[in-house]
Every structure is written in C-alpha cells, then in structure tokens.
Amino acid sequence: MAESIGTTGLILNEPLLWEKGKKGRCGFSLPRRDVEPSPLDPVFTGEGPDLPDLSEVDVVRHYTRLSQWNFGVDTGMYPLGSCTMKYSPKTNERQAGLLGFTGAHPLLPDTLSQGALRIMFELEQYLSEITGMDATTLQPAAGAQGELTGMLLIYACHKSRGERRSKIIVPDTAHGTNPASAALCGYRPIAVESNEKGILSAEAVSEVMDEDTAGIMITNPNTLGLFEENILKIAEIVHSKGGLVYCDGANMNAVMGVAQMGKIGVDLMQLNLHKTFSTPHGGGGPGSGPVCVKKHLKSFLPVPRVVENEGRYTLVENCPDSIGKLQAFYGNFGVMLKAYSYIRTMGPKNLKRASQLAVLNANYIKEMLKDTLHLPFDRPCMHECVFSDKYQKADHVTTLDMAKRLMDYGFHPPTIYFPLVVQGAIMMEPTETESKEDIDRYIEAFKAIVNEAKEDPELLRQAPHKCKVRRLDETAAARKPCLAG
Ligand SMILES: *Cc1c(COP(=O)(O)O)cnc(C)c1O
C-alpha cells in the first residue's frame, strides 16, 4: 500500500487514571493557609472520594492521548453522507462565546435581553429569506423535533378548517425520522416508491393522495442526493386535495441561494442548523431545527414569538392558535448565534457559492469513481452521491469491508447501507470546504481499495489494520459499550 495519511506506528495505549495514579503524586498545591485550621462538619468527614493521585504530566498526557483517538473534521475529510459533517468556521464559535451571550440568562426580562432577542428576530428573517418562506420558529432542538413541529402545525391547520385527516405520504428514500415524526403525531405514514431515476414521480403521488391524507413529507434534495424535480407537480396534486407539503430541509447545504422551497410549492420545512449553518454535528447535540412556514401557517407557530415594535423586541405568549411550547425557553440559543454569525460572515453571495462548491465536489467524486464503484443513479447529483458494492460482489467484498479499509488510508468512512433503497449503499458527501488535493487523495484511496478487493480480498475482510481497535462486534459495541477504554 502506498504511503497514506492514515495512522502510523504511534498509536499509544492509555490506562485508566486510576491505574496510572501513584500515592503521593501531586498536580498542584494549595496556597499556604492564612487562617487557623478548623475541623470539618462531621457530616462531611469519613471516607473521601476515591480519586487517584496524579501529576500534571499524567493528566495532560492522559487527556491529550484520549483526544487523539477521536476523528473529526478537524483531523481530516469526513465524507459522511446524509449528515453534512461540514466544516464549521471557528469564528462562529468565538462569536457565540462572547461574554454578553454566555452571561445572558433566559429568565432575564425582555428589557435586559434586547440584543439576544434582536438576533433571534433577525435570524428568523434570514432563514425565512433563504428558504423563501414567510415566518420561522427557532424553538425545535433538532431536525427530528422540527419534523414533529411541522406535523403538529399541519394537524393544527387541518383542525382550524374543521378537518381531521389520518395519513401522511412519505417517500421510500426518506430519513427514518420522517415516518417516525408523522407517527408520533398520530398520522399513518404511507410509503411511495421513488422511480427509476431515484426521485418521486407525480403519478406515484397522485395514486395515493386523497382527502384523508394530511400532506406529504418530501426531502429535497432527497436522501439519494437527487433534486426532486417533480416537486411543482407533486405540490399541485397534494394542494388540490387539500393537503400540505412539508419539506425535510436537512439537505439545504446543496441549494442555499439556489432553490427557494417556498417558491416551489412547499408550505413548511425544517432546517438543521447543525448541518447547514455552522454548528458542529454529532455527539448528540446541542442542535437546532428551525421550522419555516408560509403565511397561512404563521399563526400556529410555537410560543413565545419574538415580536418587534418600533425597534423594541418582546416575547409574546398570547397567540391563541399556537400549537404551544416545544422546548425549554426558546430553543438552543448558542446554536442560533453560530448560525447568525455564519450567515452574516458569509453573506448571500458566499452562501450560494458554498452550495455550488458542495455540489461541484460531490459531482467530481461521482465522475471520478463511477468506473470503480457501481453508481445506481448515473445523473447529476446535488451535495452527495450514492454508490454500491455491486461490482465487488464477485470478490465477496462488501461495503463494510471497504469502509473499514478506508480508515487505514486516513479517512473517516462515508455513510454506508443508507439510503435503504440502494443495496450495499456507499453514500459520500465531501462538502464545500474540501480542497481538490484532499478529494483526489480520497478518490485514489478508494481506487486502491477496490484494487485490493480483487487482489487480496482477505486483507479487506480483516481491515482495519492500522487503527487503535480492529474489527468490532458492531452489535455488542452498540448494546454493551465498554466505556473504560
Ligand atoms: C439528519 C437528518 C434528519 C434528522 O435530524 P436530527 O437533527 O438528527 O434529528 C432528518 N432528515 C434528514 C434528511 C436528515 O439528514
């Protein structure tokens, strides 16, 4: 194997701090006391906590080593599709960390929170503009909670018309959270199959859409990385039967400043600020899944709403049609700050450019690898492209084997076995920030791996070879995690 930017021989083992500690070692000393000693309250005496004695070097090395076992976008390319693990510029963290923000408290009165409220108000406006919608709520804490909010809004809208509908149309390419959110709101998700081009056809939607269907949840671009080109026609069909069009906007990274969902028939949608707008993503949060709506749904949005009146900002609870409250206070404010800072530092032109580059990079990978890996939908993609392991079947090498081997070459594996409509799927999303050199290195690594699959399939089946741990029992790793290291 050619020299790679993967791991070398220096993978350090690290024991627990308790195993490392030696009685009498000390990391720092307390200042000399200047008062008389006095005995502790008897309640606090007795056995102290079992803490190891460690020197400063012991502690610093321990945590530095642990931090190096991790892999993130700061370490190298992280081409996980359907997740947009994009680079979040550090300046946005800095802005969110400013003292005025970190010292703010959600229980402060409006009069003392004018700056924070203004940022929320303006961010709502920016997100409405980017999506082509009329109003936005920042409350939901994740994409999935945004979807649930959307479903509650759809329910409230039908209720206000004196209607009660029982079903929601969900395409077979949808993220698992879509049918789950519909079901959580009491709707029955009705699956529709995408066509041979990987998108929804108007005919397929027309077949299932009826007056008992509350609407459709459509992801655009969809989870195959393809733009739902029939969206206008689909929206027309759904609207003609009194339904609403919900767009899962988690893939907005492909179309910022390019496609305005509000102008192509969408009534409401969620954005994932932790995918598209500069909050690091993964590790369980915090996230933010704002929901943007057209005018006719505005009165149903969650409370409180930020309202501006002659330059003063207030939080208003008195909205009789509102679906109520979804989240403690107003949502995850720190994430909103990073999105605000990102949007302001980029400006409209650069947001559009980011999307164009994300799409260009994905299409470059698609073109460069399509003779190496099977490409089920050979047409221009958006921000991600999906391959499969079909060509490797003969060598009995699977998607999982190739993903594991990629780690030996120093790359985080792409998303595998999703979306479910492609057997043995390998889904790659390079994002806009990867340079041509890094993308080329990644492409070369994949080509080398596919060669290895022919020449030495066993090497792949045993991979990874150069990582801290080898092939794990994935079920046991998830069900019985060993957190001791
Ligand atoms: C990530 C994602 C979601 C879910 O978002 P969370 O913030 O993880 O809840 C929903 N739909 C799509 C298409 C996604 O990529």
Ligand 1, atom 8: closest residue by C-alpha: 143
Work out the average pLDDT over 101-126: 96
Task: Among 345, 374, 401, identify where a domain stops.
Answer: 345
In a domain, 49, yes or no: no
473's tokens: 């029992």
Res 345 pLDDT > 70: yes
- Residue 461 is given by DSSP the state H
In a domain, 48, yes or no: no
User: Do 138 and 247 share a domain, yes or no?
Assistant: yes
- For residue 41, is it left (φ>0), alpha (ψ between -120 and 50) or beta? beta
Residues 427-485: pLDDT tens digits? Answer: 999 999 999 999 999 999 999 999 999 999 999 999 999 888 889 888 998 898 887 65
Owner of token pair 């550090």: 90
28 residue type, one letter: F
- Residue 5 is given by DSSP the state S
Ligand 1, atom 14: closest residue by C-alpha: 250
Pairing verdict, β 244-249 and 213-219: parallel
- Residue 277 is given by DSSP the state S
- Return the percentage of the chain with pLDDT > 70, whole number: 96
In a domain, 78, yes or no: no
In a domain, 64, yes or no: no
Which ligand 1 atom minimizes the distance to the CA of 272? Answer: 7
User: Do 163 and 268 share a domain, yes or no?
Assistant: yes
Nearest CA to 344 out of 293, 432, 278, 249 is that of 278
Res 6 pLDDT > 70: no
* Residues contacting 461, CB < 8 A, separation 6+: 396, 397, 401
| Ligand 1: centre distance to CA 35 (Å) | 58
The interaxial angle of helices 143-160 and 177-184, nearest 10 deg, is 40
Ligand 1, atom 6: closest residue by C-alpha: 143
Residues 221-250: pLDDT tens digits? Answer: 999 999 999 999 999 999 999 999 999 999
20's tokens: 């490392």
Nearest CA to 148 out of 223, 217, 251, 234 is that of 217
User: Do 327 and 399 share a domain, yes or no?
Assistant: no
Give per-residue burial for 395-430: e unless 16+ CB within 10 Å, then b: bebbbbbbbbbbbbbbbbbbbbbbbebbebbbbbbb
Confirm if 466 and 408 have CB atoms less than 8 A apart: yes
- The residue among 155 and 71 whose pLDDT is bigger is 155
Distance CA(89)–CA(431), nearest Å, equals 13
Q: Can you give the pLDDT at residue 112? A: 95
Of 28-37, 108-117, 332-341, the one with minimum mean pLDDT is: 28-37
Confirm if 225 and 205 have CB atoms less than 8 A apart: no
Which ligand 1 atom minimizes the distance to the CA of 223? Answer: 13
Task: Among 318, 345, 372, identify where a domain stops.
Answer: 345
Residue 306 burial (CB < 10 Å; 0-12/13-18/19+)? buried
Task: Determine the structural domain holding residue 131 and report its residue range.
Answer: 91-345
- Return the percentage of the chain with pLDDT > 90, whole number: 84
- C-alpha count within 13 angstroms, C-beta hemisphere, residue 183: 9
Nearest CA to 235 out of 247, 248, 249 is that of 247
Res 385 pLDDT > 60: yes
Any bridge partners for residue 416, and if so which? 426
Distance CA(427)–CA(376), nearest Å, equals 11
| Ligand 1: centre distance to CA 84 (Å) | 10
In a domain, 47, yes or no: no
Task: Among 345, 376, 392, identify where a domain stops.
Answer: 345
| Ligand 1: centre distance to CA 179 (Å) | 12
Confirm if 281 and 251 have CB atoms less than 8 A apart: no
Instruction: Supply the CATH number for residue 372's domain.
Output: 3.90.1150.10
Ligand 1, atom 5: closest residue by C-alpha: 143
Q: Can you give the pLDDT at residue 467? A: 87
Q: How many structural domains is the chain composed of?
A: 2
- How sure is the predictor about 8, in pLDDT bands with cuts at 50, 70 and 90? low
- How sure is the predictor about 67, in pLDDT bands with cuts at 50, 70 and 90? confident
301's tokens: 């949005």
User: Do 296 and 402 share a domain, yes or no?
Assistant: no
Ligand 1, atom 2: closest residue by C-alpha: 250
**Mean pLDDT, rounded, of the chain:** 94
In a domain, 69, yes or no: no
Res 214 pLDDT > 60: yes
Distance CA(315)–CA(113), nearest Å, equals 10
Residues 247-260: pLDDT tens digits? Answer: 999 999 999 999 99
User: Do 158 and 293 share a domain, yes or no?
Assistant: yes
Q: Can you give the pLDDT at residue 37? A: 86
Work out the average pLDDT over 146-154: 98
| Ligand 1: centre distance to CA 57 (Å) | 41
User: Do 283 and 322 share a domain, yes or no?
Assistant: yes
Instruction: Supply the CATH number for residue 133's domain.
Output: 3.40.640.10
| Ligand 1: centre distance to CA 10 (Å) | 36
| Ligand 1: centre distance to CA 247 (Å) | 12
User: Do 130 and 241 share a domain, yes or no?
Assistant: yes
User: Do 466 and 337 share a domain, yes or no?
Assistant: no
Ligand 1, atom 11: closest residue by C-alpha: 175
Q: Can you give the pLDDT at residue 68? A: 85
- Model-level pTM? 0.91
Any bridge partners for residue 169, and if so which? 190, 216
Work out the average pLDDT over 410-428: 95
Greatest mean pLDDT among 72-81, 89-98, 470-479 lies in 89-98
Residues 266-294: pLDDT tens digits? Answer: 999 999 999 999 998 876 779 999 999 99
Residues 389-411: pLDDT tens digits? Answer: 999 999 999 999 999 999 999 99
User: Do 452 and 315 share a domain, yes or no?
Assistant: no
Pairing verdict, β 268-271 and 291-293: antiparallel
Q: Can you give the pLDDT at residue 41? A: 76
Output the DSSP codes for 305-360: EEEEETTEEEEE---TT-----SSTTS-HHHHHHHHHHHHHHHHHHHHHHHHHHHH
Ligand 1 pocket by Cβ (under 6 Å): 82, 142-144, 175, 177, 219, 223, 248, 250-251, 272, 287, 289
Work out the average pLDDT over 39-64: 85
User: Do 284 and 238 share a domain, yes or no?
Assistant: yes
Distance CA(370)–CA(382), nearest Å, equals 16
Res 322 pLDDT > 80: yes
User: Do 115 and 187 share a domain, yes or no?
Assistant: yes
Q: Can you give the pLDDT at residue 30? A: 84
User: Do 439 and 341 share a domain, yes or no?
Assistant: no
- How sure is the predictor about 7, in pLDDT bands with cuts at 50, 70 and 90? low
Q: Can you give the pLDDT at residue 44? A: 66
H/E element holding 271?
Answer: strand 268-271
Q: Can you give the pLDDT at residue 203? A: 98
Q: Can you give the pLDDT at residue 468? A: 83
In a domain, 63, yes or no: no
Q: Can you give the pLDDT at residue 71? A: 87
In a domain, 221, yes or no: yes
